[in-house]
Amino acid sequence: MTTTSNTPASNGGPNSNKGTVYITPLVHSLSLDILEFSALSALLVDGEGIIQWVEPLDSALPRAEREKEVHRVMADRGITSDQVELVWLDDGFLCPGLIDTHTHAPQYPNLGLGSDLQLLDWLERITFPTEVKFGNLEYAREVYEEVIRRSLNAGTTTSCYYATIHEESTKLLADLCIHLGQRAFVGKCNMDRNCPATYTEATESSIASTEAFLAHFDKPTVPTYSEPVKPSRLPLVQPILTPRFAISCTPSLLSSLAALSASRTPSIPIQTHMSENPLECAWVTQMFADETGAENWGKTYAGVYEHYGLLGPGTILAHCVHLDDEQREIIRRTGAGVSHCPGSNMFLSSGAAKIRELLDLDIKVGLGTDCSGGPSIGILSAIRSASYISKFNSFPSSSDLIPSPPRTRPLSTPNLFYLATMGGAALCRLEGSIGNFLPGKEFDALWVRPRGPGMFLRKGEGLKEIFEKWIWGGDDRDLGAVWVRGKRVAGTAGKETG
Ligand X SMILES: O=c1[nH]c(=O)c2nc[nH]c2[nH]1
Binding site for ligand X (CB under 6 A): 104, 119, 123, 127, 244-245, 273, 276, 344, 370, 373
Residue number, 188 or 488, with CB nearest to ligand X: 188
Smallest separation, CB 163 to Zn ion (Å): 12
Q: Which region, judged by CB under 5 A, interacts with Zn ion, from 60-68, 224-232, 331-339, 368-376?
A: 368-376
Q: Is the distance from CB of 324 to CB of 315 less than 8 angstroms?
A: no
164 binds, among Zn ion, ligand X, none (CB under 5 to 8 A by kind): none
Using CA atoms, how far residue 173 sits from 136, 248, 429, in Å, is: 13, 23, 21
Residue number, 301 or 483, with CB nearest to ligand X: 301
Residue number, 74 or 254, with CB nearest to ligand X: 254
487 binds, among Zn ion, ligand X, none (CB under 5 to 8 A by kind): none
Residue number, 38 or 107, with CB nearest to ligand X: 107
Q: What is the CA radius of gyration of the chain?
A: 23
Question: Where are the extended beta strands (E) located within 321-412?
Answer: 337-340, 364-367
Residue number, 374 or 480, with CB nearest to ligand X: 374
Residue number, 44 or 427, with CB nearest to ligand X: 427
245 binds, among Zn ion, ligand X, none (CB under 5 to 8 A by kind): ligand X
Rounded Cα distance, 333 and 330, in Å: 5
Smallest separation, CB 339 to Zn ion (Å): 8
Q: Is the distance from CB of 195 to CB of 131 less than 8 angstroms?
A: no
Smallest separation, CB 127 to ligand X (Å): 5
266 cis-preceded (ω within 30 degrees of 0): yes
Closest CA to 238 of 428, 486, 460, 490: 428
Q: Which region, judged by CB under 5 A, interacts with Zn ion, from 11-19, 173-181, 318-326, 454-462?
A: 318-326
Q: How far is CA 287 from the centre of its chain?
A: 32
Smallest separation, CB 143 to ligand X (Å): 15
What is the size of the binding site for Zn ion (CB under 5 A)? 2
Smallest separation, CB 280 to Zn ion (Å): 12
DSSP element (H, E) containing 87: strand 84-88
Q: Which region, judged by CB under 5 A, interacts with Zn ion, from 185-193, 301-309, 312-320, 456-464?
A: 312-320
123 binds, among Zn ion, ligand X, none (CB under 5 to 8 A by kind): ligand X
364 binds, among Zn ion, ligand X, none (CB under 5 to 8 A by kind): none
174 binds, among ligand X, Zn ion, none (CB under 5 to 8 A by kind): none
Q: Is the distance from CB of 413 to CB of 33 less than 8 angstroms?
A: no
Q: Is the distance from CB of 316 to CB of 160 less than 8 angstroms?
A: yes
Using CA atoms, how far residue 315 sits from 28, 240, 267, 272, 403, in Å, is: 25, 9, 10, 8, 40
Residue number, 70 or 348, with CB nearest to ligand X: 348
Smallest separation, CB 148 to Zn ion (Å): 17
Q: Is the distance from CB of 41 to CB of 69 less than 8 angstroms?
A: no
Smallest separation, CB 369 to ligand X (Å): 10
Residue number, 107 or 433, with CB nearest to ligand X: 107
276 binds, among ligand X, Zn ion, none (CB under 5 to 8 A by kind): ligand X
Asked if 370 interacts with Zn ion (CB under 5 A), we say yes
Using CA atoms, how far residue 112 sits from 145, 362, 377, in Å, is: 19, 34, 11
Residue number, 32 or 281, with CB nearest to ligand X: 281
- Tell me the residue number closest to ligand X, measured at CB: 373
Pairing of strands 487-490, 479-484: antiparallel
Pairing of strands 51-56, 35-45: antiparallel
Smallest separation, CB 44 to ligand X (Å): 41
Smallest separation, CB 297 to ligand X (Å): 21
Q: Which residues contact 309 (CB under 8 A, 6 or more apart)?
A: 254, 255, 258, 259, 261, 262
Residue number, 104 or 441, with CB nearest to ligand X: 104
Smallest separation, CB 128 to ligand X (Å): 9
Triad 302, 305, 311: Cα angle to 5°: 90
DSSP letter at 426 equals: H
* SS3 category, 317: strand
Residues at the contact surface with Zn ion, assessed by CB under 5 A: 318, 370
